[in-house]
Amino acid sequence: MLSGFSLGMKVLLSVIYWMVAFSLVIAMLTRHIDMPVLLSKSMFHIGSAWLVFTLYMIFALLIADVTKLFVPSLNHGFYYALGVTCCLLIQRIIFVRTSFQNRDE
């Protein structure tokens, strides 16, 4: 998948991936250290979203794999799982925003 990228780009993408993956843990471990609030909250929210995305994606991929056992012509299970996961997350973001807006009124 990344065969067309140069080594430098692969290293950069790898560093970004692992920073996002561990941002929740880093935010939790550094909560008592003086650091900008924006950075701390951003790391916490990015890490939380990444955790939820990973959980939903695992379930969606599991369902896609089980479906492929019964429907062998399903060739794009990853893309279906990615689409369902993104739709669920967008729906959840919209629901949370509207519930906070209704609570403030």
Q: How far is CA 45 from CA 27, 34, 79, in A?
A: 9, 18, 25
Among the residues of 1-105, which ranges form H helices?
7-29, 37-70, 77-104
The reported pLDDT for the residue numbered 103 is: 60
The reported pLDDT for the residue numbered 99 is: 66
Run means of pLDDT, 10 residues per run, the chain, 105 residues: 78 88 85 82 84 86 86 82 86 73 59
Domain ranges of the chain: 7-104
Rounded Cα distance, 59 and 47, in Å: 19
- The whole-model pTM stands at 0.65
List CB contacts of 77: < 8 A, sequence separation 6 or more. 61, 64, 65, 67, 68
